[in-house]
Amino acid sequence: MLKTVEFLQTTSKGQKLVGTVSFDGEKVQFKVPLGLELQMQGGIKGRSENGILYPEDGFKFLEELQFAFSGSYLRATKPKEGIIKIFD
């Protein structure tokens, strides 16, 4: 079961970890920049069959982040080992 999603930003040096969103079974926890959190609080739309999902939707919301944020500049992904992440 997916419990954490990482937000990676592509830079000229590689992938930069900009935050995480986690679900503890009861509540979604945000550790991302405020602007990104506010955007997600307003609901996300990934795959059309799921409609708009909100943090209150828990696990479904967390899963959908990977589809709603799948761009080349900023993307949500399952945590993976072996990826070099740059921390500022």
pLDDT of residue 19: 93
Q: What single letter denotes the amino acid at residue 62?
A: L
Is position 56 within any domain? yes
Q: What does the pLDDT look like over 18-63, one tens digit per residue? A: 999 999 989 999 999 999 999 999 999 988 787 899 999 999 999 9
- Look up the domain containing 10 and give its range: 4-81
Is position 33 within any domain? yes
Q: How confident is the model at residue 83 (pLDDT cuts 50, 70, 90)?
A: low
Is position 86 within any domain? no
Is position 21 within any domain? yes
pLDDT of residue 84: 53
Is position 30 within any domain? yes
Is position 88 within any domain? no
Is position 87 within any domain? no
When divided into structural domains, the chain yields a total of 1
> Strand ranges (DSSP E) for the chain?
4-11, 14-23, 28-31, 44-45, 52-53, 74-77, 85-86
Is position 55 within any domain? yes
Q: At residue 86, does pLDDT exceed 60?
A: no
